[in-house]
Structure 1
Amino acid sequence: MGKNRLEAFSDGVIAIILTIMVLELEVPHGASLAALEPALPTLFGYALSFVYVGIYWNNHHHLFQAVRGISGAVLWLNLHLLFWLSLLPFVTAWMGEAGVSTVPVAAYGVVLFMCAVAYAILEHRLASLHGANAGLARAIGGDRKGWLSLLLYGCGIGLGFVHAALGLAVYVIVAMVWFIPDRRIERSIAQAAEGAGQ
């Protein structure tokens, strides 16, 4: 089964997610810098969510560059990932409205956690579809970075209930860890290209 329609659909959904988030931003009432102050929590939440959606889009792109074909199960697993990503505008708006408060920050963490779970399931299904010796499966390996992220999200959710700013700080750290695209898959693609050129 070809992967082009899945990639195009995913790109479209991600573009809509980003559009919804930017439409949630309200224009300040006033022309001074002080007028921006009430909007700072919302702007911070938007920037963090934009980075997260960008990370998923970037890694999704790299992941599907390493894939030759897909299955019906992959289509559903990709929709599972898009479902959780589509909830980011909701929890981002909630954090913007409520400020850095325990329940919205914890809910934001739950959505990030589920995005990571959905991506990991999709990634491992694609790897198994191409066989244990395929470049993608070797690149993913034990996925220590992914497991560490899930652990950190869990800590962030727990901290979010104790002190919201600490939970939010953990989510920022995870975003910083993933800001650079997954080099394992980039290396796998480069090695496959070198092998094809020989």
Structure 2
Amino acid sequence: MIKIGIILGSTRPGRKGEQVAQWVHETTALRSDAEFEVIDLLDHPLPHLDEPAPAMMSSGRYQHEHTRAWADAIASFDGFVMVTPEYNHALPGVLKNAIDHLYVEWNNKAVGFVSYGVEGGARAVEQLRLICGALQMADVAPQVALSLLTDFENYTTFKPGDQHVAALDTLLDHVVAWSTALAPLRAASPATVA
């Protein structure tokens, strides 16, 4: 069965992403087309990129144990939903750092985006689409953009509008379908880390 990781892309104290990732995960409990698991970056503390060789050139051979553990975690998934806030018109540095630690582990996998911010996190997702393209990932078009103004009561408690449930279901449909379609490429890749 296809396995999809829901990456919680913020480690900031008081982060809203925990509520959002939980909502995504609860929504996936109603599905039987894939297995879903939350990947919290707090559980994978990575220093600022410290591998001596670029991930693209290391072919999955990393020097540091923290990178190897992160690589094993990411390699075990067929696709991802990235839950990201927008900080200063961009994605969080901790998410970019986690992405940059690896290369082959991301290849030929689908990715969808659930973002939040004053403007729904749209600019963070624009950047993530470019980054994921460079990693040979297939980013799906549907996305969920949550506003801090309308989807969080008092900017704190997550209360998504009904329209977001349908949008999330569509996003998940696409991530599962693309993850399934890309399976032969992952199987054929000599650089795939298992």
TM-score in terms of structure 2 length? 0.32
- Bigger helix share: 1
Larger radius of gyration: 1
Higher strand share: 2
